[in-house]
Amino acid sequence: MLLQEASPKGIEKFSNAAGLDWVLHIRDVAPEMLSAQGRSGKKGGRSRPRSVALAGRGEPARCPVVFPDVPLPEKVMAASVDLDGVTTTVVTYHAPTGVQHKLKKPDQAVRLAQWLASVEGPVVLGGDFNTPKLDPPDQSDIRTHWHSGDKKLKGLPGDDLLVGPEPIHGLGDVLRLYLADHPDELDMIRADRPDGPLTTSYCTDSAGKRKYRYDAIWVSSHFKVESVEYVYDEAIEAGTDHALVLAGLVAVS
């Protein structure tokens, strides 16, 4: 499991309820990442920053990697795990909000994208990316909120390098990979929601009218996507404000 906004106080209770064998919170690897105050996104800025964690069953994650040089280092962590018998680099990511953190949002995304481009072997990336702004059926029409070329970037690269139509790391969005193998389902989405989103994982208004797919899993070509499910309504009822994203992956021999 690739977790975001993982409360250090609540993670053990969550792990027990989910029947997990292990949890690796960024607090366990680099406690200094949680020493900053005022980055929660809430007015007043007194609470600790929102942080990430990895969790699972079987053999625990190993060789954790943190990113002290990114703008908000508590929001990204990587490690190695065995998936379907294959040693895999897994990454959990929570994008900074553009409203609060401005240029730090695309900067963080670009730095992670560059790191991912250097990783060899199987990779799974999951997170709350707080983007894209446009998520239509045609991949070439994806637009992130801080897309390269936008005037507010002042010539800097944007978060499309991480989750845009042509990311630099070579990973694929599991939902789009799945739909490419199931064109009938993609045609239904195109007829029903020609402007997207492909599905809903988050709403930016309490009425549920401004729908986005901010949450996603991305994988390297070492995996075939057998299934994808966005569990939204049940997740909201359980107390979160984002969908749970489930992906069934099989290693490609």
CA distances from 86 to 16, 52, 200 (A): 26, 23, 31
Is the pLDDT at 61 greater than 80? The verdict is yes
Q: Residue 120's pLDDT band (boundaries 50, 70, 90)?
A: very high
Q: At 15, is the pLDDT very low, low, confident or very high (cuts 50, 70, 90)? A: very high
Q: How many CB atoms lie within 10 A of CB 84?
A: 13
Whole-angstrom distance, CA of residue 91 vs CA of residue 102: 23
Give the pLDDT confidence score for residue 208 in this predicted structure. 86
Q: Tell me the pLDDT band of 206, cut-offs 50, 70 and 90.
A: confident
Give percent above pLDDT 90 in the chain.
86
- At 25, the amino acid letter reads H
Mean pLDDT of 210-219: 98
Predicted confidence at residue 48, as pLDDT, reads: 61
Residue 39 pLDDT? 61
